[in-house]
Amino acid sequence: GNTGNNTLAGLGGADTLIGDTGTDTASYAASAVGVNVSLMTGLAQGGDAEGDTFSSIEGLLGSAQNDTLEGDGGNNVLNGGAGIDTLSYEHAAAAITVSLATTAAQNTIGAGSDTLSAFENLTGSGFGDTLTGSTAANVISGLAGDDLINGGAGADTMVGGTGN
């Protein structure tokens, strides 16, 4: 990438995606298989993401398949793309507050300020999170901690995990 906002697509094979200043996005829109990508852990599995590594990447764009995407502790722009996609905060360093219904930037408290779109499912952290769904049918998993889960208006499935 350069000093502007860049969209980088590695396509097949293990690629190194290097952004710069600006908001740089790793795009998996062309992947024929769903991807599992975490900027927090550096994990990149499935389809065109398999084996990819990242440097100075702040955004993720999923494929048309069912993807799982996770930002890092900074400010991220995360878009699930088509498919039934899961937004994960499993590796967050502190409790988070997230609403799938909010598409403007939102302060997650424990994982930076994230701008979210096109996610149907949500996985919280190992802490006491506040998780809110959207008008779609969501699957919301709280994991550990004393979570507050609000499914929103859809026909939702909520999994509390350990804690109260």
**103-115 tens-digit pLDDT:** 999 999 999 999 9
Biggest CA–CA distance in the chain, Å, is 47
Q: Mean of the pLDDT values across residues 7-11? A: 92
- Pair 133, 154: CB distance under 8 Å: yes
pLDDT category at 123 given cuts 50, 70, 90 is very high
pLDDT category at 159 given cuts 50, 70, 90 is very high
